[in-house]
Amino acid sequence: MSSPHASPRSGAPSVRRLLPPGLLFALPFLVLFALFMVWPLVQGLWMSLTDTSLSAHTPGFVGLDNFTEAFQDAEMWRALGHTVWFTVLSTVPLVVVALGMALLVHTGLPGQWVWRLAFFAPYLLPVGVVSLLWIWLYQPDLGLFNHLLDVVGIGPVGWLSDESVAMWAVALTTLWWTVGFNFLLYLAALQAVPDHLYEAAAIDGAGAWRRLWSITLPQLSRITAVVTVLQVLASLKVFDQIYLLTKGGPNGSTRPVVEYVYDVGFTGYRLGYASAISYIFFALVLLASAAQYAALRRREK
Amino acid sequence: MTSTDLPVRTSSASRAPRAARTAPARSRLRGNHHVLGDSRLGRVLALAVLAVLALVWLVPMLWAVLTAFKSEQDASDPDHWLWPRHGLTLKGFSTVWERGDLPLWMLNSFLIAAAVTVVTVLVSAMAGYAFSRTLFAGRRVLFALTVAAVLVPPQILIVPWFRQMLTLHLVDTYAAVILPQTVAPVMVFILKKHFDSLPRELEEAARIDGAGHWRIFWSVLLPLSRPMLAAVAIFVFIGAWNNFLWPFVSTSDPALMTLPVGITSVKDAYGIQYAQTMASAVLAALPLVVVFLFFQRQIVKSVATTGLGGQ
């Protein structure tokens, strides 16, 4: 009993061999993981090979028909294009603006509490609130934005109703809503930049801009890479705010691929076909992850 | 690091006022002057830019609050769009509150987010402990699978999840909303890394005293891990509170809806009643914003540590 190597617990050895304590500890997670991650992944793959439907008919095996159909489906390609376009449109400002905010707040200006609240609070709003609020801001006749544009003499903009504007409006809402998250990541990274670098630079007589370009930004390059990776993956998964702001409209011009999955599966009842598109989208996400992983690796060499 | 620090400190001290001013003796928490320098003009300019940016970020929220306090008539009066002609009123709030569905959705959101948080944190911490501190057949493969699962977007699982809930006859139940959200491979990964970082001396002592795995986990490691558990819990709670897609797909009964789902489901029912819509939005936003006001530091820390997924 006194030896640290002796087993501290009693119990039938055969049971212990079948269920060692480690496995027991992992078991609750593994059960949930198997039920709600592994099984759905397998079932989704299986459904993508069938004509499973929400209506009551027995699903039959259709081979790769769903995938063949998907690759010829112009609407799916269009939706994938919207997802990628949104990712580009949202990622750039979500990284750049967050960096700018963090640099400004990190200067130690008075009112830290207010800045953090202003930039991060929107992130805490449920997407339902965000969309109701921005539908009101974008409202063509009564919304704040068109009132303000009117003051400076610019005619009303159809923020969510004009096909050439809607995706930009969605990206703008997303920037406002989620930039606070990246801002906090940058703020934490800034606090970790070692002081002695700046002290050395101060001795060399480096000015403020010089310090920004030669110390701060290079020191932030790793976190910038990480924030960008996380942002791209988050943006590729976009659904909520687009669905609530525009329902993918006008004329499907903002519909992302996740909404297409939803429309095909739950409005069109075609769960099999929706599963196939899910897997095509999954491939896109994996491709993006792999590409970014490779890029990160190359940078760090 | 200290060895490189020291000579720098001494030399900067020997170089009189200019260097002394730039030396970062000021508290770290209050930030520092490194980023933009310490010229007066620079700081005033930075403050101005920051103030404008913060104002731009606050305006949408202020506009929502202002609208919520207007009468319906004033809210849709294009000629007096800024300040209401008939003064402010609480009518929007009282109408929305009395309809009764908003408090119900808040309660649903709270119950569901709390259940998801408790289950996720407990189950992930136990799994993190197992992967960090115990040996069993298949441990490495299972951990590798868990890490790989971080790459799976939950969005691709909604169709099979829904099929599954039909099979299990769980559609339109709390269980259907909660269960799939409790699988958080990234949290298992973060907590495993965290346990790896804790020294083993304390548990060795407990082990000598005859403590088993459960005692070591529950009475030694968990109390040491409170800050990390809080960070994970806050992150999971905010995620569950704001989650939209799965609760939206898995519930059609308004009595089971969460806040993000419910509040948008009645959007069309409001018609053009903007004051009421904004009143419900403000009420729905309130809980988490108030919590943030009280726990700002913990929430900021939670995002900074958990947000990177342990990278």
Domains and CATH numbers, chain A: 13-65 (no CATH), 66-300 (1.10.3720.10)
Q: Which two tokens stand for residue B16?
A: 């009189």
In DSSP terms, which residues pair with A50 in a beta bridge?
A61
Of B57, B159, B274, the CB nearest to A118: B57
The reported pLDDT for the residue numbered B13 is 36
Average pLDDT over residues A64-89: 92
Condensed to tens digits (0 to 9), the pLDDT of residues B243-285 reads 999 999 998 888 889 988 888 876 655 566 888 888 888 988 8
Neighbouring CB atoms inside 10 A of A177's CB total 23
Residues of A whose CB is below 8 A from B242: 124-127
Going by C-beta distance under 8 Å and a sequence separation of 6 or more, which residues neighbour residue B100?
Answer: none
How many Cβ pairs closer than 8 A exist between chain A and B? Answer: 350
Our CA-based measurement puts residue A163 at a distance from the nearest CA of chain B, in whole angstroms, of 22
Which DSSP state fits A108?
A: -
Per CB-CB distance under 8 Å, the chain B contacts of A104 are: 36, 46, 49-50, 53
Residue A31 in this model has a pLDDT that exceeds 90: yes
Q: Write down the pLDDT at residue B293.
A: 84
Burial class of residue A58 (count of CB atoms within 10 Å of its CB; 0-12, 13-18, 19+): exposed
Tally of domains in chain B: 1
In a domain, B157, yes or no: yes
pLDDT in tens, B55-64: 999 999 999 8
Q: Is A143 on the interface with B (CB under 8 A)?
A: no
Contacts of A73 (CB under 8 A, 6+ apart): none
Please, what is the Cα angle at B156 between A162 and A29, to 5 degrees? 140
Answer whether the bond into residue A28 is a cis peptide, omega within 30°: no
In a domain, B171, yes or no: yes
Helix (H) or strand (E) holding B188: helix B185-197
Lowest mean pLDDT among A277-291, B86-100, B201-215, B223-237: B86-100
Q: Judging by beta carbons within 10 Å of its beta carbon (0-12, 13-18, 19+), is residue B3 exposed, middle or buried?
A: exposed
Closest CA to A183 of A299, A93, A289, A84: A93
**Residue B238 placed within a domain:** yes
In a domain, B13, yes or no: no
CATH of the domain at B149: 1.10.3720.10
Residue A168 Cα distances to A88, A165, A243, B66, B252, angstroms:
11, 5, 15, 26, 31
- Among A27-31, A180-184, A189-193, the least confident range: A189-193
Tell me the chain A residues in contact with residue B188 when contact means C-beta distances shorter than 8 Å: 29
Which tokens go with A103?
């640099």
The pLDDT of residue B37 is 54
pLDDT at B310: 47
Q: Whole-angstrom Cα distance, residue A269 to residue A172?
A: 33
Tell me, yes or no, whether B81 lies in a domain: no
Q: Which of A124-138, A196-210, A258-272 has the lowest mean pLDDT?
A: A196-210
Whole-number pLDDT of residue B12: 36
Q: Span B81-94, mean pLDDT? A: 79
Q: Are the CB atoms for A288 and A84 separated by under 8 Å? A: no
Is position B48 within any domain? no
Residue B224 falls within a domain, yes or no?
Answer: yes
Cα–Cα distance measured from residue A35 to residue A41, given in angstroms and rounded to the nearest whole number: 10
Residue B50's closest chain A neighbor by CA? A104
Minimum Cα–Cα distance from B240: chain A residue = A126
Nearest CA in chain A to B151: A286
Q: Do B158 and A212 touch (CB under 8 A)?
A: no
Q: Alpha carbon of B104 to those of B114, B258, B275: distances in Å?
A: 15, 8, 21
Helix, coil or strand: residue B227: helix
Instruction: Give me the domain span that covers residue B239.
Output: 100-265
How far apart, in whole angstroms, are the C-alpha atoms of residue B102 and residue B263? 7
- Helix axis angle for A21-33 and B139-149, nearest 10°, is 30
Inter-chain residue contact B24 with A199, CB threshold 8 Å? yes
A86 touches chain B (CB under 8 A): no
Nearest to A22 among B139, B245, B249 (CB): B139
In-domain check, residue B272: no
